Amino acid sequence: MIALLMRDLRLAVRAGGGFGLGLAFFLIVVTLVPFGVGPEGKILARIAPGILWVGALLACLLSLDRIFALDYEDGSLDLLVTAPVPLEGVVSIKALAHWITTGLPLVVAAPVFGILLHLPQGAHVWMVISLLLGTPALSVLGTFGAALTVGLKRGGLLLSLLVLPFYVPTLIFGAELVRRGAEGMNTETPLLMLAGITAATVALVPFASAAAIRVNLR
Amino acid sequence: MSIWEYANPVKFMKTTDKILPWTVGIAAITLIVGLVWGYFFVPAAENFGGSVKVIYVHVPAAMMAINIWVMMVVTSLIWLIRRHHVSALAAKAAAPIGAVMTLIALITGAVWGQPMWGTWWEWDPRLTSFLILFLFYLGYIALWAAVENPDTAADLTGVLSLVGGVFAVLSRYAANFWNQGLHQGATLSMDSEQHIADVYWFPLLLCLAGFVFFFLALVLIRTRTEVRARRLGAIQQRERMA
């Protein structure tokens, strides 16, 4: 499994386009928003948590279709399915690799982008915490969508339609956590809910994804 | 005799052929009586005026929108566990009806919200979760349309309906937490102290029954069409082979 993780990471870094592309997309979103709503710091500070979360969500979505598509095309997915490692484990590792290449850079870069959007000082730590807790759920749910659409020729748009509704709870609690953190309110409830959603999805969704892949390769 | 007998397409077609006219008839009678009663023979409510009458479409449509997804989850489970094709086809047939019911609930809600709240749309938890439910329906229908092999499509959409059902409920409670709503609480409840006065309650009950039978009739017609389409496909394939 570790070998699979290393393989996926190496592929993401060396094949080009995967690693860092999500981050660049995140930067573009953050740059475009002030053009749209105007440069006043007050407005930007108010909407910053939402923008950063929606940006993270879209950046995550952008790289989902390559989770299984490349392996499906060159046939290595068939080998992975017949390998002695359980498919649920393979799916979890794929999600982890996706998170390391897209989720983790977003977490690290979020404070910098927060400065661009005049995110209040106290909210930065909450931004990082919320992304750290929330982005794994995005990756795991993304593998489910990717698993559903893996056999399709033009699955990209369908993938977005399928996956985005699943992101709603994570988005709500993630953005709420940062908003409450920025205003110095009690953050316990959204923090626990966000952690709970992520824990549950990481534990349960790989089974659904594995089932979908088995169907698609039948 | 067991209920699984009806999983046999021939048996299913034969039975539904007999049931269908009755379902259509009951749906037509209850809907016509309920709506006419509700619209023309019920006094206008205090504080609500005439706009209260949209309740006879809004509430049943909203109820069906949720329950159709529940029905799709059940039929998908039957398909995933026991591999009865009719069950999968019933789930496929129900999805567009559910999407339309959700849309009707949203639109009548907007029409009702305009005079009552002074706004067509509000990011209220109930409204928001219905919008999300509508998106889930769209995704489900799109996935059915996109996958070519019918068995694969049935499996994938079955899994989607299960996971989607969990997340639709989760979104509902997340939205509750996210924003306080304008929408009133439950209209219908077993506790007779709580729900609305009897003058409104009886025609509403008829409309609810009417919508249930209307849905039953539609889903039977659509499932029968799907079964016939499947047969046609099989026949065509046999011709090509010969």
Query: What are A156-184's pLDDT values in tens digits?
Result: 788 988 999 999 989 988 988 888 888 87
- Name which of B131, B133, B149, B159 to mutate to probe chain A: the one with the most chain A Cβ atoms within 10 A of its Cβ: B159
Q: Is residue B193 part of a domain?
A: no
A152 part of contact set with chain B, CB < 8 Å: yes
Count interface pairs A-B at CB distance under 8 A.
75
pTM: 0.88
Tokens of A77: 């997915």
Distance of alpha carbon B58 from alpha carbon B113, whole angstroms: 11
Q: What are phi and psi of B95, to 5 degrees?
A: -60, -50
Asked if residue A32 lies in contact with residue A72, where contact means CB atoms within 8 angstroms, the answer is no
- The first and second tokens of residue B129, run together, are 């979760």
Instruction: Please report whether residue B192 resides in a domain.
Output: no
Inter-chain contact B146–A158, Cβ cutoff 8 Å? Answer: yes
pLDDT digit string (tens) for chain B, length 242 residues:
577 777 788 888 888 889 999 999 999 999 999 888 888 877 766 555 667 778 888 889 999 999 999 999 999 999 999 888 888 999 999 999 999 999 999 999 888 888 877 788 878 888 888 999 999 999 999 999 988 888 889 999 999 999 999 998 888 888 877 766 556 655 554 444 455 666 677 888 889 999 999 999 999 999 999 999 999 998 999 999 87
Q: Residue B189: inside a domain, yes or no? A: no
Q: Which domain holds residue B129?
A: 20-183+198-241
**Neighboring chain B residues of A162 at a CB cutoff of 8 Å:** 139, 142-143, 160
Asked if the structure places residue B210 within a domain, the reply is yes
A161 touches chain B (CB under 8 A): yes
Beta bridge partners of B45: B49
Residue recorded with tokens 């404070």? A111
Asked whether residue B10 is domain-assigned, the answer is: no
Q: Does B152 touch chain A (CB under 8 A)?
A: yes
**Does residue B167 lie in a domain region?**
yes
Residue B161 in tokens: 């309906």
Cβ of residue A149 closer than 8 Å to a chain B Cβ = yes
**Residue B122 touches chain A, beta carbons under 8 Å:** no
Give A216's contacts in chain B (Cβ within 8 Å).
Answer: 152, 156
Domain annotation covers residue B41:
yes
Q: How many domains does chain B divide into? A: 1
CA distance B113 to chain A (A): 24
